[in-house]
A and B are shown apart, each in its own frame.
Chain A
Amino acid sequence: MLRYIIKRLLQTVLVLFLVVTLVFVLMRCIGDPTKLLVSPEGSYEDIENIKAALGLDKPVYVQYIDYMRGIVTGDFGSSYYYNRPVTDLILEHIPATLLLAGVAIVIAVPLAILFGVIAAVKRNTFLDNIVTTLSIAGRSLPSFWLGLLLVLVFSVFWKVLPASGYGEPNQLIMPAITLAAGLCASITRFTRSSMLEVIRQDYMTTARAKGVYEKKVILHHGLRNALLPVVTMLGLQVGHLLGGSVVVESIFAWPGIGRMMVSAILTYDYPLVQACSLTMAVVFALVNFITDMLYTVVDPRIRYD
């Protein structure tokens, strides 16, 4: 078990290293931030001075080594645009993103499991068709459109919810629903198929033959086993959730990492983009590491030796 944990940790570190390198390469391809920082009347010397101040006059491999050294020692540099340490900016913006993603998960997961189980148990009935069709609809829904439709209905026509902003609980409702919709659709679908797989198993028949109540058969014998793959799936969905938050935060002016990252990309703010993407990748890698570990706890049959 310990060996497995160590191996898995090393793999996570390797993936993060590759992500960081990829970000470095991508950002260096994007373009030169100095042009944006120097006023149009600025002389050639001004540009060179700023380049030197930002360390962009050094050879690329030296920049890469400096960058890696910074990451290892926890120093991510300062944002070109805000002129503040990137670490502070990330710490300021991450609670908003985590809150949004957390609420979306709390809304989506219980609903999705409920829908998925109902659809599987009532397979090929009217109810199942509705759930399946709705989950396909959820997958086809552009999140920016859903968000704007909610704004249209609740802020423009009925005027019951604020169109954007952060801080009040009622400002959280629409962004969370927008983010939750896609997640709910894909987990519903997955729970349904996982449950269908379990329902066929012999132990379900055995439980019924023993005279166990149908409800208990479904919940204790069925759902428990069906949820295992759902846990893994949920871990992988965190990536989609973080990506989705980029769009949702942009619509609702939500002060999270996603929105900050889009503006950082548009202003060539290398250190900020690097830190944002690293944060997202770390969150994703950690969640998946934890899901893998949880797996062994939830399912005693699995032993990683």
Chain B
Amino acid sequence: MFKGLSVLKKSTLTAKIGLVVVVLWIICAIFAPLLAPYGMDEKDIAMRLTPPCWEDGGTIEHILGTDEMGRDILSRLLYGSRVSLIVGIMAVVVSLIIGTALGLISGYFGGKVDTVIMRLVDVMLAFPFIFMALCLMAVLGSSLTNVIIVLGITGWVPYTRTIRAQTLSLREREFVIAAHTEGCSHWRIIFKHILPNVIDNAIVQGTLEMAGAILSEASLTFLGLGVPPSIATWGGMVATGRQYIFNAWWLTAIPGLFIFLVCLSINFVGDWIRDVRDPRLRGSD
């Protein structure tokens, strides 16, 4: 713990800012009902399209203004942070599990299995991600769970590629060969000897992919095939705001800013963690 703190002290400015924003984001998501001044769907038609408090006509009661139905933007943003947090974590967990499993199998067994999995990777790469996600969402119907499933099963490729590469080299190492001669089964070698050596890289990669998952969820919801409009989401708020872009700028600008800041902060923190773990990778992709 103390070691962690001293590492934090030496961290870059961007990492510190990122960490603060990420922590605030998580707090907002957990305590949204307590922090939000109004309910998620509390409508006040008389106050519809009130601008933020610093603009002419804004009131302090609605700090960030209200939307086309008179709902408080700040409250909806706070509730929306829950969706991005859940999707960010869960989608990464699902694709991390799929990607790690396929990478381990591909790298360890090689041969035909490897060829099949690598061709599958090619197919995934040849297919514009957003299109596959749109198709799957159309199949499954829009819901929060389905967004997580779809992002999970379309996002495993990067993990598979790194895990496979690492497994290929670990497979030839002495400790693996020793385990073999001792009569360990393939699965035992994979789970007890190889997995522990590759998992932390996958998790670091996962932190970086989390920003991507949040962006993808927002894009899908924006296009109308993600989280249904009955739940407050940042992407959905931008989508409705788009219809009022000529008379209410805050409806698009503010929720988008939240998406941007959270993704930026996750990327700052993820990059910093990677640099601390392996300074040779600094600035590489």
Contacts and interface: CB of A to CB of B under 8 A. Distances in A.
B238 A145 contact: yes
How many residues of A sit at the interface, in one of the four size bands?
A: 35 or more
Given A133-B14, A145-B256, A236-B125, A193 B283 contact: yes
Nearest to B263: A140
A18 B125 contact: no
A113 to B, nearest CB: 15
Given A19-B123, A132-B283, A156-B246, A142 B218 contact: yes
A109 interface: no
Nearest to B241: A148
Interface on chain B toward A: helix, strand, loop, or mixed SS? Answer: helix
Interface stretch (B70-78, B130-138, B194-202): B130-138
A140 B135 contact: no
Interface on chain A toward B: helix, strand, loop, or mixed SS? Answer: helix
Contact of B245 (A156, A192, A244, A285): A156
Interface residues of B, number: 48
Interface stretch (A66-74, A207-215, A261-269): A261-269
A256 to B, nearest CB: 13
A148 B136 CA distance: 26
B131 A246 contact: yes
B284 interface: yes
Interface stretch (A26-34, A54-62, A167-175, A296-304): A26-34
Interface string B127-148: 1111110111011000000000
Contact of B134 (A152, A156, A265): A265
Contacts of B14: 133, 136
Given A136-B271, A140-B263, A193-B285, A16 B126 contact: yes
A15 B223 contact: no
Contact of A247 (B123, B222, B263): B222
Contacts of B222: 142, 144, 247
B260 A140 contact: yes
Interface stretch (A88-96, A217-225, A273-281): A273-281
Contacts of A247: 130, 219, 222-223
B285 A189 contact: yes
Given A30-B139, A132-B283, A285-B126, 4 more contacts: A31-B139, A136-B14, A140-B215, A149-B253
What are the nearest 8 A-B pairs in CB distance? A145-B256, A193-B284, A243-B128, A140-B263, A140-B264, A243-B130, A29-B139, A26-B135
